Amino acid sequence: MTKLRIFRGLIIVSIGVVLLVLGSDIFDHSYDLVESVMKTPHDIIGDKEILQGQSINSTITWNELTEHAVLAVNVMPATGSIKLQVTEPNGNIFEKESVNGFAYHIIDKSSQEQGNYYFSIMNLGNEPVSVNAILGEDPYLSGTCDSANGVNCYVIPIAIGLVITGMIMLIVGSLITINDFRKKRFVN
């Protein structure tokens, strides 16, 4: 019976790890799905080729933004590697590299920080790539999700929920394992 107790904690830890990895993977690819249901999407850059080691720059004005804007960059071929760098009006710089031909950045429109957002897309790969950059409103963050959007609209909170649940299960499973191990030690 004691061995069974030790295994229950390890089983909970294992499930926690699976949920954490699954949630993280879904979150990494979440805006790839959200792009299809973005509100008021418009092209910022359309089919622009970037040579190896080169970059292109563009600007998003404060007036172009919605309350919860998302800048989505698609790379062709999807195996191409790019780095998206966004400089916000307050000087903060955010960088993301593409995953499966996709990179994104969430921009929260703030009346305290009015100004232009500058972004750069750099080709990190060995071959030329073609990029498209789209700016749209995140339907979940803006509260405009509806049943017509299906599950795509709720991918982000689902991913966050899986990550949080996985973390809790890791902690609880570890505590149960430690507690059961101590009980076993005192029994022997």
Q: Helix, strand, coil proportions of the chain in percent (round to 5)?
A: 45, 30, 25
Q: What is the pLDDT of residues 70-92, one digit of tens each?
A: 888 888 987 888 999 999 888 88
pLDDT at 2 over 60: no
Q: What is the CATH number of domain 39-137?
A: 2.60.120.380
- What is the pLDDT at residue 185? 66
For the chain, how long is the longest CA-to-CA vector?
71
pTM exceeding 0.85: no
Cis peptide upstream of residue 77 (ω within 30 degrees of 0)? yes
- Phi/psi of residue 63, nearest 5 degrees: -70, -25
pLDDT at 68 over 90: no
HSE at residue 135, side-chain half, CA atoms within 13 A, is 21
pLDDT at 1 over 70: no
- Looking at residue 157, the DSSP 8-state letter turns out to be H
pLDDT at 165 over 90: yes
Name the 3-class secondary structure at 55. Answer: strand
- Strand order, beta sheet including 55-60: 55-60, 117-123, 82-87, 93-97
Closest of 114, 104, 108, 30 to residue 66, by C-alpha: 108
Average pLDDT over residues 156-183: 88
- What is the pLDDT at residue 14? 92
- What is the pLDDT at residue 141? 67
Q: What is the pLDDT of residues 17-52, one digit of tens each?
A: 999 998 888 776 666 666 666 777 788 888 899 999
- What is the pLDDT at residue 64? 84
Cβ atoms of 135 and 40 within 8 Å: the answer is: no
Mean of pLDDT over the chain: 82
Kindly list the domain boundaries of the chain, sorted by start residue.
1-33+147-188, 39-137
- What is the pLDDT at residue 188? 57
- What is the pLDDT at residue 186? 63
Q: Is the alpha carbon torsion for 179, 181, 185, 188 positive or negative?
A: positive
- What is the pLDDT at residue 91? 86
- Phi/psi of residue 53, nearest 5 degrees: 75, 0
Name the 3-class secondary structure at 170. Answer: helix
